[in-house]
Amino acid sequence: MTDTQRHKIEIAKDGFTTVDDVYSDKEIEHILSMIDQADNNKRTFRKSTELFAIRQLLKEIPEITNSVFNDSLKNVVSQIFGDNYFVVKSIYFDKPETSNWYVSYHQDLTISVDKKVELENFGPWTTKQGQYAVQPPIDVIENIYTIRIHLDDTDENNGALRVIPRSHLKKIYRPENIDWDTETETACNVKRGGIMIMKPLILHSSSRTTNNRKRRVIHIEFSNQELPTELKWSERMNFK
């Protein structure tokens, strides 16, 4: 079995997989330097003592795109997802060393779009920092892959994701309905320069930081599905 086959099987079966050594230390440092030099006064930048985040990262810092989509990442996307996938969302998360920020178990049920329109089976709607988000029909969510690029070594002590394997197979799975007599959780430890690939419907959470180490991640979502003509993906981008 090849690595690609193994990753495909793990994603289909468990809802996630990890790939090591997608980026070198030099590539990571270059990405971080471009983020550090960006103008953080824009409305898509959110900064507090517990979190620094940049929504629409690839739009706000377009010069970072070529560095993020190095040959290794493009090969991963092509081999595991297919050749017709494109970017639909990008976010940078920085959980500082002293962060007590905790995210409880949830599924990623919304997509980012260009405007709010009334469409059957699209809703509810939310708006964050001027960005429209909506819960689409379940088949749209099932078609998405998420890649989390780890810019630091990450384990359960500095906010590595905890997931419930196979929960993505249960469609909408409310956290209050988790049956801990039958479910187990797994911490997704990832080394700096590695990536985690996950399906948005997998139940996932993030613990508080306890070891005084940063956890910086670039979150990118991919789809190969077009939306109804009335709507557009707000960050649709071909990266090849």
Report the CATH number at residue 215: 2.60.120.620
Q: Three-state SS across 15-68?
A: CEEEECCCCCHHHHHHHHHHHHCCCCCCCCEEECCCCEEEECHHHHCHHHHHHH
Query: Can you give the pLDDT at residue 212?
Result: 80
Owning domain of residue 67: 3-223
Q: Does 233 fall in a domain?
A: no
pTM above 0.85, yes or no: yes
Whether 229 is in a domain gets the answer no
Residue 240 forms part of a structural domain: no
Kindly tell me if the per-residue pLDDT of 50 is higher than 50.
no
Helix (H, G, I), strand (E, B) or coil at 7: helix
* pLDDT tens profile 172-221: 999 999 999 999 999 999 999 999 999 999 999 998 888 888 889 999 99
Residue 236 within any structural domain of the chain? no
Domain contains 232: no
Whether residue 88 lies inside any domain: the answer is: yes
Q: How far are the Cα atoms of 43, 51, 62, 126, 185 from residue 55, in angstroms, in the given order?
A: 9, 13, 13, 15, 28
In a domain, 183, yes or no: yes
Residue 12 has pLDDT above 50, yes or no: yes
Note the pLDDT tens digit of each residue in 138-177: 999 999 999 999 999 999 888 899 999 999 999 999 999 9
Phi and psi (nearest 5°) for 151? -95, 0
Q: Mind listing the pLDDT tens digit for each residue in 57-88?
A: 999 999 999 999 999 999 999 999 999 999 99
Which residue type is seen at 1? M
CA 104 vs. chain centroid, Å, equals: 16
Give 96 or 24, the one with higher predicted confidence: 24
At 47 the pLDDT is 56
When divided into structural domains, the chain yields a total of: 1
* Residue 235 maps to a domain: no
